[in-house]
Amino acid sequence: MPQATPVIILGAGLAGCCAALDLAQAGQSVTLIDRTPRPMMGASRHNEGKLHLGYVYAADPQLETHRLLAAGSLRFQDTVARLTRTPLAMQITSGCFNYIVPQDSARPVAALWDYVQTVDRTNAALAAEFGQAPLPPSRIADSGAISAFYAPGIQAVFTTPEIAVDPGRIADIVSAAVYADPLITFCGNSTVLGAGQTGSGGYAIDLAQGDDRVTIGADRVINALWEDRVRLDAMVGQDTPFVWSQRWKATVVIDVPPGALDLPSTTGFVGPYGDFVLYGDRRVYASWYPALRLSMSTTASPEEVRAQVAQSDPETLRRQALQGLATLMPGVAALQDQAARSRIGGGFIMAVGNTDIDDRASGLHERHQIGVEGSGRWLSISTGKFCTAPMFGVQAARMMIDEGAP
């Protein structure tokens, strides 16, 4: 652990690691700090990996969310490949997502199909702006395709060009690149307790390392702490104007025998449903919101949430998630006998809003109040989503360089 360092990045998730890798590629040495023993052990490993093009945010009346998420998603894979110097082919992706409309969806089929087509048009314009090949337009699945995979009562299925990347594979690629870079010093097992400004305009960061307390100095800081970001910003006088909620969502990941499963990656919308993802031909992500959303609070500390989550029984979560999903996709029920191949994970979801997603007016239906905040020597990455983390990580690194990082 260095005593003083020019640039400290707090939080070695995808946002913090991408900022570190981009700064290192520009020749800047960086100290990267995390409470976990290795990088990429938080939400950036334990999520669905969907590269959102915006279809799921059909309740955002201003359509701002989908443009921002799509801008991150369309460049996600190339940015990760560039930063990690790892071939694109190493990333494992899902097939295209089907968006299914259950009987009790919060919005009617016609309105949703209109919205999907609007999103398609914006994405086509964005892809052209980024010099990318046009995405195939979404289409309505016929009744044969619906009955092949979905339960009776599903009103409609839209096949979109959206995909997911296996976040476990991305986490492995990114953490390997962090360890391999000689300009990045990773300090694990170091919990950030607090921060304050020093007389010279830099910052002092207080850390707990086991039973030890350590303070290190930095000229500049990027705060990418996700669940603890807002607290640290407030300590250096950068208060948020929003009410933030934190939810803990558990995940079920199942390694299936190669080629054994042939189900389309699927999201239920609009409402508290779930997602099924098949990455490549051998790993499944299964989620059912009513069973796996284990906490929601605007006041609980991350430690309190972790203690609460530790009370849940992994086997019950696994069973309930598959049971819930099977009400929409009956084929998922076959995964119930794969307990030995299943893992329960999970992570924090931070968002502006204080009511849950079953409230149509909830701020959770919008994710555009995100990005790099602050200026000068303390920047804060409000990541928003996994798909926007590389974009905002690079943006923070460039802002730091533009503002004269030593």
Ligand X SMILES: Cc1cc2nc3c(=O)[nH]c(=O)nc-3n(C[C@H](O)[C@H](O)[C@H](O)COP(=O)(O)OP(=O)(O)OC[C@H]3O[C@@H](n4cnc5c(N)ncnc54)[C@H](O)[C@@H]3O)c2cc1C
Q: What is the distance between the alpha carbons of residues 44 and 69, in angstroms, rounded to a whole number?
A: 16
Closest by Cα among 249, 186, 246, 232 to 381: 232
Nearer to ligand X, 57 or 158 (CB): 57
Q: Which residues contact 330 (CB under 8 A, 6 or more apart)?
A: 150, 151
Q: Which residues pair with 332 in a beta bridge?
A: none
Peptide bond into 332 cis (omega under 30): no
Determine which helix (DSSP H) or strand (DSSP E) holds 246, and give its type and residue range: strand 244-255
Question: Is position 105 an interface residue for ligand X (rule: CB under 6 A)?
Answer: no
Q: Which two tokens stand for residue 238?
A: 């950068």
- Expressed in percent and rounded to 5, the helix, strand and coil fractions of the chain are 35, 25, 35
Decide whether 105 or 246 has the Cβ nearer to ligand X.
Answer: 246
Question: Do residues 270 and 106 make contact, with C-beta atoms less than 8 angstroms apart?
Answer: yes
Q: Contact between 44 and ligand X (CB under 6 A)? A: yes
The stretch among 20-28, 40-48, 102-110, 356-364 that binds ligand X (CB under 6 A) is 40-48
The answer to whether 399 and 26 are in contact (CB under 8 A) is no
Asked if 386 is part of the footprint of ligand X (rule: CB under 6 A), the reply reads: yes
- Of positions 195, 387, 391, 396, contacts ligand X by CB under 6 A: 387
Q: How far is the CB of 292 from ligand X (least distance, A)?
A: 7
Residue with Cβ nearer ligand X (156 or 225) = 225
For the segment 191-250, give every residue that binds ligand X (CB under 6 A).
191-192, 224-228, 249
Q: Which is nearer to ligand X, 167 or 202 (CB)?
A: 167
Query: Is 192 or 326 the residue whose CB approaches ligand X more closely?
Result: 192
Q: In angstroms, rounded to a whole number, what is the distance separating the alpha carbons of residues 150 and 157?
A: 9
Q: Is the dihedral of CA 293, 294, 297, 302 positive or negative?
A: negative
Size of the site for ligand X (CB under 6 A): 37
Hey, which residues between 329 and 358 contact ligand X (CB under 6 A)?
Answer: 346-347, 349
- Which string of x and - marks every residue 51-70 that binds ligand X (by CB under 6 A)? -x------------------
Can residue 11 be called a binding residue for ligand X (CB under 6 A)?
A: yes
Contacts of 201 (CB under 8 A, 6+ apart): 377
Minimum CB distance to ligand X smaller for 73 or for 146: 73
Rounded Cα distance between 126 and 78, Å, is: 15
Q: Is 21 in the site for ligand X (CB under 6 A)?
A: no
Decide if residue 385 touches ligand X (CB under 6 A).
yes
Helix ranges restricted to H, 201-268? 229-235
Q: Which of 35, 169, 220, 377 binds ligand X (CB under 6 A)?
A: 35
Task: Output the smallest distance, CB 248 to ligand X, in A.
Answer: 7
Chain residues that interact with ligand X, rule: CB under 6 A: 11-16, 33-36, 41-44, 46-50, 52, 191-192, 224-228, 249, 251, 346-347, 349, 383, 385-387, 389
